[in-house]
Amino acid sequence: MLHFFENLVDPYIDYSANDTPPNKIGPFLWALFYPFRKLIALNAVTSFATAGAEVFLIFYLGHLVDVMSKTSPSEFWANNSVELILVLVFILIIRPLIQTLDTALIKNGIQPNLAALGRWRSHRHVLRQPVGWFESDFAGRIASRVIQMPAAAGDLSFQMMNALTFTVAYMIGAGILLANAHPMLLIPLGIWMVLYVILLRWSLKRIRPAARASSAARSRTLGFVVDSYSNINSVKLFSHSDRETESAVEIFESHRQTYMKENRIVTVMDSGLVLLNGILIVSVVGWALFMWTNETATVGVVASAGALALRINSMTGWILSALSSFFRSLGVISEGMETVAQPIGMKDADDAADLEIETGGIEITDVSHHYGRDSGGLKDISISIKPGEKIGLVGRSGAGKSTLVKTLLRLFDPEQGQISIDGSDISSVTQDSLRARIGMVQQESMLLHRSIRDNILYGRPDATEEDMIEAARKAKAHDFILDLEDNVGNRGYDAQVGERGVKLSGGQRQRVALARVILKDAPILIMDEATSALDSEVEAQIQATLNEMMKGKTVVAIAHRLSTISEMDRILVMDQGEIVEEGSHEELLEKDALYASFWKRQSGGFISED
Distance, CA of 577 to CA of 73 (rounded, Å): 101
pLDDT at 214: 81
- At 466, the amino acid letter reads E
Question: Is the domain of 419 the same as that of 447?
Answer: no
Query: Residue 186's domain is classified under what CATH number?
Result: 1.20.1560.10
Is the domain of 482 the same as that of 579?
A: no
pTM of this structure:
0.74
Name the domain boundary from 503, 521, 539. Answer: 521
CB 5 within 8 A of CB 109: yes
Residues 282 and 261 in one domain: yes
First CA to last CA distance, the chain: 74
**Is residue 5 included in any domain, yes or no?**
no
Count of residues making up the chain = 610
- Could you give the angle at which helices 465-474 and 536-549 cross, rounded to 10 degrees? 130
Residue 232 lies in a domain: yes
Q: CA-CA distance, 499 to 228, in Å (whole number)?
A: 14
Mark whether 372 and 422 lie in a shared domain: yes
- Which phi and psi (to 5°) does residue 11 adopt? -70, -10
End position of a domain, from candidates 476, 503, 521: 521
> Considering the domain boundaries, does residue 451 fall inside one?
yes
**Enclosing domain of residue 273:** 11-340
Say if residue 143 is in the same domain as residue 55: yes
pLDDT tens-digit profile of 189-245?
888 888 888 887 887 788 778 877 887 888 788 778 878 877 777 787 777 788 888
Residues 206 and 270 in one domain: yes
Write the CATH number for 592: 3.40.50.300
> Across the 610 residues of the chain, what is the mean pLDDT of every consecutive 10-residue run?
84 65 82 87 88 83 80 82 90 92 89 87 85 78 82 77 74 78 81 84 80 80 81 75 83 87 83 84 83 81 80 74 76 80 83 89 92 83 93 89 90 91 92 91 80 92 93 90 88 86 79 90 87 66 77 88 83 92 91 88 53
How many domains would you assign to the chain?
3
Same domain? For 182 and 96 the reply is yes
Torsion sign across C-alpha atoms 193, 194, 200, 203: negative
Among 460, 488, 521, identify where a domain stops: 521
Nearest one of 146, 187, 105, 204 to 335, comparing CA atoms: 146
Q: 258 and 115, same structural domain? A: yes
